[in-house]
Amino acid sequence: MSPNHDRVALVTGAARGIGAGIAAKLAANGHPVVLADVLPEVEATARALREAGHQARAIRLDVSDEAAVAALPRAIGDWWGRLGVVVNNAGISPKAKGGRPRKIRDMPAEEWRRVLAVNLTGAFLVSQACIPPLRARGWGRVVMITSQAARAKSMIAGAHYAASKTGLMGFARSLATELGPDGITVNSVAPGRIDTPMAQGAAAGVNDAFLANIPLGRTGSPAEVAEVVAFLASDAAAYLSGATLDVGGGSFMP
Ligand SMILES: NC(=O)c1ccc[n+]([C@@H]2O[C@H](COP(=O)([O-])OP(=O)(O)OC[C@H]3O[C@@H](n4cnc5c(N)ncnc54)[C@H](O)[C@@H]3O)[C@@H](O)[C@H]2O)c1
């Protein structure tokens, strides 16, 4: 039997989009998967995985809610001690009217705080809560879903989003440094334009202009991001830590 059967994977923001794709891929690879999301739809996403013969549970969780994250061990129950993989995928990208990025001069501080709270502090809270079970088993994989907005100037996302995702990459490097001695790797995946409800929220003209800069000439799919996350979660990626893998069709080349 694959060792993945004893490596429970927690995926945040897994009700739909990239997170749902990651949960499906990890489940197909034999991981029992906990899908966490604020949306009630997460129940149906998990049910569909169970109906396909996989092990999957849904929990309702706002990753920015410190008390709710602290209660994760209770929410996840008997699977908590078998945690092996954590994917910090939950994220928001508020846009101005018409799907355009909001100018900094017009950005309400409350919106700035909310984006940082979900995209950055949420990943900190969830990662911190998951350290004890990962350390206890001496093996672990943490993956941050950042963005090309953290790698180059963004034509699509607001400054709060770019700042949160850039911060997430810095946090990942610190966590990788701290947890390496415990056999835990921490890496980031920076997707380019991926066809999800979030991407559909951008104005059509914005998406078209972006496409012109993608050498592969198309948007990506959640499944294509999930393949890379599954690799990072595997034993094959044992010596990879603190890295950022760009999954953007070549739109950013460091
Ligand atoms: N779609 C893209 O082009 C793209 C590109 C780069 C990075 N990303 C990143 O990928 C991740 C997934 O994005 P997506 O495109 O699938 O977006 P999406 O909006 O389709 O899905 C995001 C999911 O996160 C959940 N979520 C939001 N706030 C939450 C919270 N506080 N607690 C728990 N769950 C929460 C949402 O309910 C939703 O199910 C995000 O971190 C996003 O920033 C997306």
Between the CA of 103 and the centroid of ligand 1 the distance, in Å, is: 21
Beta-bridge partners for 10 = 34, 86
Between the CA of 118 and the centroid of ligand 1 the distance, in Å, is: 10
Give me the domain span that covers residue 172: 3-240
Domain count, the chain: 1
* CB contact at 8 A, 25 and 35: no
CATH number, domain at 207?
Answer: 3.40.50.720
- pLDDT tens track, the chain, 254 positions: 789 999 999 999 999 999 999 999 999 999 999 999 999 999 999 999 999 999 999 999 999 999 999 999 999 999 999 999 999 999 999 998 888 889 999 999 999 999 999 999 999 999 999 999 999 999 999 999 999 999 999 888 999 999 999 999 999 999 999 999 999 999 999 999 999 988 888 777 777 888 899 999 999 999 999 999 999 999 999 999 999 999 999 999 98
Assigned domain for 254 exists: no
Assigned domain for 86 exists: yes
Assigned domain for 252 exists: no
Assigned domain for 246 exists: no
Tokens of 19: 């997170």
Q: Is residue 61 lining ligand 1, measured as CB closer than 6 Å? A: yes
* CB contact at 8 A, 144 and 119: no
Distance CA 40, CA 179 (A): 33
Catalogue the active-site residues: 161
Assigned domain for 248 exists: no
Assigned domain for 251 exists: no
Tokens of 166: 């850039």
Q: Is residue 145 lining ligand 1, measured as CB closer than 6 Å? A: yes
* CB contact at 8 A, 203 and 98: yes
Phi and psi at residue 17, to the nearest 5°: 60, -145
Nearest CA to ligand 1 atom 8: 147
Nearest CA to ligand 1 atom 32: 62
Assigned domain for 144 exists: yes
